[in-house]
C-alpha cells in the first residue's frame, strides 16, 4: 500500500498503555514570555468523532485545520497532552525553514539524484511556510513573524569549509543567497566572532509558543480542542477507541502528530530518538545595548557546524542562544541541569558579545527534537484508518505544517504534488532495543559536536 510506514509496531488490540505522567512539562519555555492564557478544558466522558488528531503542535494543528476544511459538517477532535505551546512546537528556537542546510558529508559534491531530493525537501518546507503565512495573516496572529531569512555562519575550521560547500550548493540549486565576510557580519550582527557567513532569504523568524497558541485559538469552529488530555491507550478495533484519564473517544480515523513521542503510542518503536536541547534568553536589552549589536533590528543565525550555536536577536530586543544537544531519554532537563547548561550558554554568549557581559539571562529552557538515524521524516498510514506524520530533524515548524496538511488530504483520498513529495521520503533506519538504543543514541547526538570549537 502506498504510504504505509516502515516500522509499524502495533501488536494486537491494545496498542499502547501509558500514564499522563509520561507527558510532564515545566515552566521553562517561550510560553513564559507571553501573557497568561486560559487552556481549553480536558476531555471528560464518552465522545464519538469521525476524525481525531492526537498532538496539537504545528503538525496536529495543521492536520485538524485541513480536516475541518474538508469536512465542515463533521466534528474534528484535537487532543493535546499538555497545554498548548509546551510541547516541541513551542520550545524550538523559532526558525521556520524555507531552504534546508544539507551538510557536505566530507565535502563531496552531491549527485544529481541528491539535488532532486534536496529540491523536493525544500518544496515541502516552502509549502508549509506558505500555509503558515496565510494563517498568520488571515487570523492576525501576533507571533513576531519576520520574513527576512537567516544567516548561516562559520567561526572555526570545519564550518569555514562548510561555508564554501554551501555557497557552491546554493549556486547549483539556483537559490538566491548573499555571502558575507567578517566585517559585513559584524556590521549586521554586531559581532566579530564569525569568520564568514551566507544569508539565505525566505526563512521566517517567529515566537514559537505565540505561533502555536495563535493557531490553536483560531481553529475552525468544528474543531474541538482538549488540552491536558493525554491518550493512555488505543484499541484498533472498529471504531478505533482511545482511553484517557477521564474519558473515552471512539473515532473512525485517527491521526497521530506527536513527533518524537510517537513510541509512547506504540508507533515506530526503535525508529526515532529524542535529542534534548537547551537555550537561554536575555532580558530585554536597553537602547544603548541594542545599538552595539549592528544595523539590524532582528536577525537569526544558524551555525554551519552540526553542533554549533543557534543565535537570535528577537523583535522585542532579546538575544536567544541555544548550543547544547544531548540524549536524555527524550525528556526535558530538571532545574539543576538547566543551571549547569546555562553556564555553557553564558560562555558562548560572552565570546560573541563581550560588550554585553553584564546582561543577565532571564530564562533558560529545554526542548526535545525528534530525529531519525538517517535524517528522514515519517508520513503515511500505520494501520487501517490510523495515520502518522512526524520527526522533522530540526525543521518542524515549516515541514511539520506541510506534513500535517498533506496527511489530512491523503487520508481523505486526496492527490497533490505535496502528498507525492511527503510520500517520497526514504524509509527510516531501524534502531536496536535498549540498552543498546540508549548507548547508540548518546553517541549519535554527541557526535554532532566533534570539532565544534568556536562555533559552539
Q: Which residues 6+ apart lie within 8 Å of 125 measured at CB?
A: 97, 98, 99, 100, 395, 398, 399, 402
Instruction: List 279's β-bridge partners, or say none.
Output: 322, 365
What's the pLDDT at 373? Answer: 82
Confidence tier at 433 by pLDDT (50, 70, 90):
confident
Is the confidence at residue 111, as pLDDT, over 80?
yes
More confident residue, 242 or 267: 242
**CATH of region 14-91+209-272+374-425, choose from 3.50.50.60, 2.40.50.100, 1.10.3720.10, 1.10.1060.10:** 3.50.50.60
* Mean pLDDT (whole number) for 416-425: 96
50 C-beta neighbours (distance < 10 Å), count: 15
What's the pLDDT at 157? Answer: 94
Is the confidence at residue 12, as pLDDT, over 50?
no
**Between β-strands 45-54 and 247-256, what pairing exists: parallel, antiparallel or unpaired?**
parallel
What are 34-49's pLDDT values in tens digits?
999 999 999 999 999 9
Is the confidence at residue 434, as pLDDT, over 80?
no
What are 275-287's pLDDT values in tens digits?
999 999 999 999 9
Is the confidence at residue 18, as pLDDT, over 80?
no
Confidence tier at 9 by pLDDT (50, 70, 90):
very low
What are 74-107's pLDDT values in tens digits?
999 999 999 999 999 999 999 999 999 999 976 6
Cis peptide before 256 (omega within 30 of 0): no
Return mean pLDDT, the chain.
92
What are 200-235's pLDDT values in tens digits?
999 999 999 999 999 999 999 999 999 999 999 999
Amino acid at each position: 500500500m502506498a504510504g504505509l510506514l516502515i516500522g509499524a509496531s502495533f501488536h494486537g488490540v491494545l496498542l499502547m498503555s501509558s500514564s499522563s505522567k509520561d507527558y510532564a512539562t515545566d515552566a521553562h519555555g517561550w510560553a513564559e514570555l507571553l501573557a497568561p492564557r486560559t487552556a481549553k478544558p480536558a476531555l471528560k466522558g464518552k465522545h464519538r468523532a469521525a476524525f481525531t488528531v492526537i498532538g496539537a503542535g504545528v503538525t496536529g494543528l495543521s492536520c485538524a485545520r485541513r480536516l475541518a476544511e474538508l469536512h465542515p459538517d463533521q466534528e474534528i477532535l484535537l487532543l493535546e497532552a499538555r497545554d498548548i505551546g509546551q510541547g516541541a512546537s513551542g520550545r524550538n528556537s523559532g526558525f521556520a525553514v524555507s531552504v534546508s542546510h544539507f551538510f557536505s558529508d566530507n565535502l563531496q559534491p552531491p549527485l544529481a539524484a541528491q539535488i532532486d531530493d534536496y529540491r523536493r525537501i525544500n518544496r515541502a518546507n516552502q509549502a508549509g511556510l506558505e500555509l503558515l503565512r496565510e494563517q498568520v495573516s488571515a487570523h492576525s496572529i501576533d507571533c513576531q513573524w519576520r520574513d527576512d531569512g537567516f544567516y548561516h555562519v562559520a567561526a572555526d575550521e570545519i564550518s569555514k569549509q562548510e561555508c564554501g560547500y554551501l555557497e557552491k550548493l546554493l549556486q547549483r540549486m539556483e537559490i538566491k543567497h548573499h555571502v558575507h565576510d567578517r566585517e559585513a557580519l559584524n556590521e549586521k550582527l554586531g559581532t566579530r566572532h564569525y569568520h564568514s557567513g551566507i544569508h539565505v532569504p525566505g526563512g521566517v523568524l517567529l515566537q514559537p509558543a505565540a505561533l502555536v497558541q495563535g493557531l490553536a485559538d483560531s481553529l475552525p469552529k468544528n474543531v474541538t480542542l482538549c488540552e491536558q488530555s493525554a491518550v493512555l491507550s488505543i484499541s484498533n478495533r472498529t471504531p478505533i477507541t482511545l482511553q484517557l484519564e477521564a474519558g473515552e473517544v471512539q473515532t473512525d480515523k485517527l491521526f497521530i502528530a506527536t513527533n518524537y513521542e510517537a513510541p509512547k503510542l506504540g508507533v515506530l518503536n526503535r525508529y526515532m530518538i529524542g535529542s534534548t536541547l537547551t537555550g537561554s534568553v536575555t532580558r530585554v536589552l536597553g537602547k544603548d545595548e541594542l545599538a552595539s549589536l549592528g544595523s539590524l533590528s532582528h536577525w537569526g543565525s544558524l551555525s554551519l557546524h552540526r553542533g554549533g550555536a543557534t543565535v537570535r536577536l528577537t523583535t522585542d530586543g532579546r538575544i536567544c542562544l541555544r548550543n547544547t544537544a544531548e540524549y536524555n531519554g527524550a525528556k526535558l532537563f530538571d532545574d539543576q541541569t538547566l543551571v549547569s547548561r546555562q553556564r555553557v550558554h553564558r560562555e558562548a554568549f560572552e565570546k560573541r558579545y563581550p560588550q554585553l557581559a553584564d546582561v543577565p539571562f532571564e530564562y533558560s529552557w529545554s526542548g526535545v527534537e525528534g530525529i531519525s538515524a538517517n535524517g528522514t521524516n515519517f508520513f503515511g498510514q500505520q494501520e487501517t484508518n490510523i495515520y502518522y506524520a512526524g520527526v522533522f530533524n530540526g525543521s518542524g515548524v515549516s515541514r511539520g505544517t506541510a506534513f500535517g496538511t498533506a496527511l489530512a488530504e491523503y487520508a481523505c483520498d486526496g492527490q497533490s504534488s505535496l502528498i507525492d513529495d511527503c510520500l517520497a521520503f526514504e524509509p527510516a533506519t531501524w534502531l536496536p532495543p535498549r540498552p543498546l538504543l540508549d548507548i547508540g543514541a548518546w553517541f549519535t547526538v554527541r557526535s554532532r559536536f566533534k570539532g565544534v570549537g568556536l562555533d559552539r
